[in-house]
């Protein structure tokens, strides 16, 4: 499953937003055992556990969007929309902070 979050940030701001959003998400939702591995400056692999199921996905930072992908088991697909909404809300908050010079 894929989801894009559009942005109008510089490359440096977008990288900072992505890193801080993922760090914040990992701290707030530590119970899900999140793991983030940065493969390049613009691509990260993400893993976490929900209801005993191990989920994998990734984040790519593009010039005008953050592209998220997530391998969602069939049983959890009804929660996909809610999960992407939470992630988008978190990223949008960091985008706003970056535009205000706070991040």
- What is the spatial distance between Cα 35 and Cα 77, in angstroms, rounded to a whole number? 21
The stretch 21-38 carries a mean pLDDT of 89
Whether the pLDDT of residue 56 is over 80: the answer is yes
Whether the pLDDT of residue 90 is over 90: the answer is no
Q: Residue 22 has which token pair?
A: 């993922």
Whether the pLDDT of residue 88 is over 90: the answer is no
Q: Which of 2, 21, 13, 15 is nearest to 89 (CA)?
A: 21
The stretch 14-23 carries a mean pLDDT of 92
- What are the structural domains of the chain? 2-99 (3.30.310.80)
HSE-CB at 60 with a 13 A cutoff on CA atoms is 9
First to last CA, the chain: 29
Whether the pLDDT of residue 25 is over 90: the answer is no
Q: Which residues face 46 on adjacent strands?
A: 36, 57
Of the pLDDT bands very low, low, confident and very high (cuts 50, 70, 90), residue 19 is: very high
């Amino acid at each position: 499953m894929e989801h894009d979050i559009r942005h109008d940030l510089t490359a440096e701001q977008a990288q900072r937003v992505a890193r801080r959003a993922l760090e914040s998400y990992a701290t707030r939702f530590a119970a899900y055992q999140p793991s983030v591995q940065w493969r390049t400056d613009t691509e990260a692999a993400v893993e976490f556990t929900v209801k005993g199921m191990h989920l994998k996905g990734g984040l790519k930072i593009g010039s005008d969007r953050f592209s998220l992908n997530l391998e969602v088991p069939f049983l959890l697909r009804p929660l996909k929309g809610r999960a992407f909404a939470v992630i988008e809300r978190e990223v949008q908050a960091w985008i706003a902070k970056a535009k205000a010079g706070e991040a």
